[in-house]
Amino acid sequence: MRLLLCSIVLSAWGCLLGSQNGYGESIVIQGERVNVRSGPGRTFEVVEFVNRDERFELLEKQNGWLKISVEGTLGWIPQKAVDADNDSLERLLKEADNYFFIQQFTTPPEANAYDLYREVLQRDPDNSHALQRIQQMTATYKRWADVAYSRHEDEKAKIFYQRYLFLGPDDASVRQRLEDLAARTLVLGGARRKLHLRSRPATVESPQLRRMLIHYSFHHPADWGKFGFSPSISGAMQHDYVRKDFGDLPVLLDRTTRLMWQRPVGLEEMNWMQSMQHIAHLNATNAGGFSDWRLPTLEELASLMETRKNESGLYLSSHFGSAPLWCWSADQSSEPGKAWFISFHSGGIGTHAVEDHAFVLAVRSLK
């Protein structure tokens, strides 16, 4: 009788200890292809993987890691692999995959696969699906760049190599290839094309915008196709800037477009008619010794768009300062009461009511 009583007490005590350590608790995996590691941490090697809705007995908990047995193989998974918020991770992965399959890897800035995969990894640094996709995008950029390089499509190769380095490791061979491309451009300097852009104001319709961007190979980082304008476009536009001062007026010469731009841009926003008056004032005062300043056409202003943001968060050369978040063009829209503008903050081109306010970037043609 005494032996039976001791056995019952010991059994109950064992169950209590097992319960405190998680024995007997069942867990269900919420994520896809979760790595199982040999120890409780991301530095341990991967020994197995488990998938959504698989159920396991919890053997032990330690610092946010759970010990399980996968067909006899003991290993550890992160606590977040069974947390309910993995539903939101799955939604992020699904959205990222949608961009991945249409090859919106890193552009446009507000809708691309890479940013979403990075968001997943911030929540779940061990997410194998996101890591695999980033590796695939990196390899794809490298392949595209190599093909463009072999075909002597230098500008395209340069863009893809830069995106490859943005995603992947510091590849010394690719950096050397970029240096070779730069040297080849210098050797062929006389062959660098000069753009002759329209200087007279015009009425521009939305369908003309995309044709213009493609014709001149201009950059348009933002996806504004949903607004009836242009989708994201990665061009090959390159500038040949030279800084100069004429009296007390600093300017920026672009030898590619043969244009002189006022810099930096003033801090005052104004409506479209006021921008015309501002240009008239520059000419009346002979600013910089010139009296032929004008508001740039959409073609001229669009030529300034860069493919990546500068340190001020603008898709624009830092020579222009940090003020010109959005700037008026001289071109009017086919919609009454609207004129074209460029948002260097968002990387897009659209129309505003002429009563709205924007910055003014004065330009003149080089003789």
Instruction: Give the pLDDT band of residue 87 (cuts 50, 70, 90).
Output: low
In a domain? residue 165: yes
- pLDDT at position 190 is 41
Q: Verify that 161 and 50 share a domain, yes or no.
A: no
What's the average model confidence in pLDDT over 161-175? 87
Instruction: Give the pLDDT band of residue 48 (cuts 50, 70, 90).
Output: very high
What's the average model confidence in pLDDT over 198-223? 92
What are residue 214's DSSP bridge partners? none
Instruction: Give the pLDDT band of residue 27 (cuts 50, 70, 90).
Output: confident
In a domain? residue 227: no
Q: Verify that 67 and 107 share a domain, yes or no.
A: no
pLDDT at 15 over 60: no
What pLDDT digit, counting tens, does each position of 241-291 carry? 999 998 888 999 999 999 999 987 777 899 999 999 999 999 999 999 999
- CA torsion sign for 123, 127, 133, 139 is positive
Instruction: Give the pLDDT band of residue 18 (cuts 50, 70, 90).
Output: very low
- pLDDT at position 16 is 39
What would the two tokens of residue 159 be? 């863009």
In a domain? residue 203: no
pLDDT at 101 over 50: yes
- pLDDT at position 3 is 38
Q: Verify that 106 and 32 share a domain, yes or no.
A: no
In a domain? residue 124: yes
Instruction: Give the pLDDT band of residue 109 (cuts 50, 70, 90).
Output: confident
With a CB cutoff of 8 Å and minimum separation 6, the contacts of 103 are: 140
Q: Verify that 299 and 319 share a domain, yes or no.
A: yes
243 or 324, which is more confident?
243
CATH at 62: 2.30.30.40
H-helix or E-strand spanning residue 37: strand 34-37
Q: Verify that 253 and 351 share a domain, yes or no.
A: yes
pLDDT at 7 over 70: no
- pLDDT at position 125 is 85
H-helix or E-strand spanning residue 242: strand 241-246
What's the average model confidence in pLDDT over 155-181? 85
In a domain? residue 8: no
Q: Verify that 66 and 117 share a domain, yes or no.
A: no
- Following DSSP, what letter does each residue of 277-331 receive, concatenated? HHHHHHHHTTGGG-S--BPPPHHHHHTT--SS--TTS-SS-GGG-S--SEEEEEE
What's the average model confidence in pLDDT over 6-22? 41
pLDDT at 10 over 60: no
- pLDDT at position 289 is 92
What pLDDT digit, counting tens, does each position of 31-44 carry? 778 899 999 988 89
Q: Verify that 68 and 103 share a domain, yes or no.
A: no
The neighbour count for residue 57, using CB atoms within 10 Å, is 13
In a domain? residue 15: no
> If you count DSSP H runs as helices and E runs as strands, how many of each does the chain have, helices first?
9, 15
CATH at 272: 3.10.100.10
In a domain? residue 315: yes
pLDDT at 233 over 60: yes
CATH at 174: 1.25.40
Q: Verify that 95 and 161 share a domain, yes or no.
A: yes
pTM confidence score: 0.52
What pLDDT digit, counting tens, does each position of 49-70 carry? 998 878 899 999 998 899 999 9
Q: By residue range, what is the domain housing residue 55? A: 26-81
Please tell me whether residue 100 adopts helix, strand or coil conformation: helix
Domain boundary among 188, 204, 221: 188
What pLDDT digit, counting tens, does each position of 302-312 carry? 999 998 898 88
218 or 18, which is more confident?
218
Q: Verify that 249 and 323 share a domain, yes or no.
A: yes
How many structural domains comprise the chain? 3
- pLDDT at position 84 is 53
pLDDT at 189 over 80: no
Q: Verify that 321 and 355 share a domain, yes or no.
A: yes
- pLDDT at position 156 is 87
What would the two tokens of residue 204 be? 């521009």
In a domain? residue 303: yes
* Rounded to 5°, angle at Cα 129 from 126 and 131: 60
The CA–CA distances, whole Å, from 59 to 20, 35, 308 equal: 11, 17, 49
Q: Verify that 246 and 354 share a domain, yes or no.
A: yes
Domain boundary among 120, 154, 188: 188
pLDDT at 118 over 80: yes
Q: Where are the alpha helices (DSSP H) in the chain?
A: 2-20, 86-101, 113-123, 128-150, 154-167, 172-187, 206-216, 272-284, 298-302
Q: Verify that 109 and 62 share a domain, yes or no.
A: no
